[in-house]
Amino acid sequence: MPQDVKNLHITSYLRGVFDGAGLISDDENYSLAFPMELKSVFDAVHFNITREGEKLLIQKALDFGLYIYENMDFVKSLYDEEKLIALCEKDSALSKQILVLMQDFIETKYYAMAPESIAASPKTLLTYIKGLDACKKCYIDLVRMGIDQEDARYILPHGTQTRIVMTMNVRSLYNFFNLRCCERAQTEIRQLANLMLAEVKKIAPGLFETAGAPCEALGYCPEGDMGCGKYPPYHG
């Protein structure tokens, strides 16, 4: 019980209570159930608690979920991964918030990013975080062994962010937009290309009026049957 724990951190304590004693109901309007013996624990926090028989219930536990996971280290903190995933599967609003927390954690701790397909669910993102952490530990170990950083960074994941400066003329920009604004381009480079296109259109709208994915100017998709479906395919 709380009174028996020295230096109690209530958020971590409640996460442990949920992991050890909390149950998630199977119904669509789910609730979290806890033993009545924990009433004094929940009396100290401000959640909408109801009583049903010998159980304490929290209905639609978005606030509770954010409270126990919001400032968590997804690698070092103690938590039941399966419980977190199960709760996110029950509550799409909570899942969206947890995904944002995870991506902020990835960017802050590993200076990396996750592709859209991996960032779509807490389960895949947690696996990605484990891989990032393993790579970071190996990188640090290699540097401590005397390996130059430029060689040690070979172990870092492909998703590690970098900063570059480059120059491109109008013809090169047209070619870049033609290739990278297309829906078939990889997600991050497509996002960058669209952001760049928006900026150059502000500066020189006449020059870049027809720049972008080729289908926008042609009215058909030159990728044939491999297109995204926005425009009819060209079969030449």
Q: Which residues are catalytic, by number?
A: 180
Do the beta carbons of residue 114 and residue 106 sit within 8 Å? yes
Pair 17, 38: CB distance under 8 Å? yes
Token pair 């280290």 is found at 73
CB 62 within 8 A of CB 12: no
d(CA 121, CA 130) in angstroms, rounded, equals 15
Strand 31-35 and strand 55-59: pairing?
A: antiparallel
Helices (H), the chain: 10-21, 39-43, 62-69, 81-90, 92-110, 122-144, 149-152, 170-180, 187-203, 214-218
